[in-house]
Amino acid sequence: SQKIEQNSEALNIQEGKTATLTCNYTNYSPAYLQWYRQDPGRGPVFLLLIRENEKEKRKERLKVTFDTTLKQSLFHITASQPADSATYLCALSMNYGGSQGNLIFGKGTKLSVKP
């Protein structure tokens, strides 16, 4: 079955630096890959979506890349701030057969930005 892994459970960085989070997947070729932010006790909040035919997507300080050869997505937060501290989830969805509605999440990376 498809597997999705986020490189680390926790990432600590200094304010102002760029945070880079990794999402790797195996066995299938997702049509779409999404990134969400989750704060403790709250539902995930959508950040960015990238399609299989796109290499990169940007939104303000956020950037996502998608390498279908490496089966990897990188999520970058530039000029990070303490308010960026949260858990970040990647999720992928397929585009074949009856699985279009099936969304698979990684376990998340908890980012802590220290002032």
- Looking at residue 84, what DSSP letter applies? G
Question: For residue 52, what are its two tokens?
Answer: 């299989």
Sole window of 12-20, 34-42, 62-70, 75-83 interacting with other proteins (rule: CB under 8 A): 34-42
Sole window of 17-25, 62-70, 72-80, 101-109 interacting with other proteins (rule: CB under 8 A): 101-109
Residue 46 within binding range of other proteins, rule CB under 8 A: yes
The answer to whether residues 93 and 100 touch, using CB atoms and an 8 Å cutoff, is yes
Q: How far apart are CA 20 and CA 49, in angstroms?
A: 16
Residues in touch with other proteins (CB under 8 A): 31-32, 34, 36, 41-46, 49, 89, 91, 93, 95, 98, 100-108
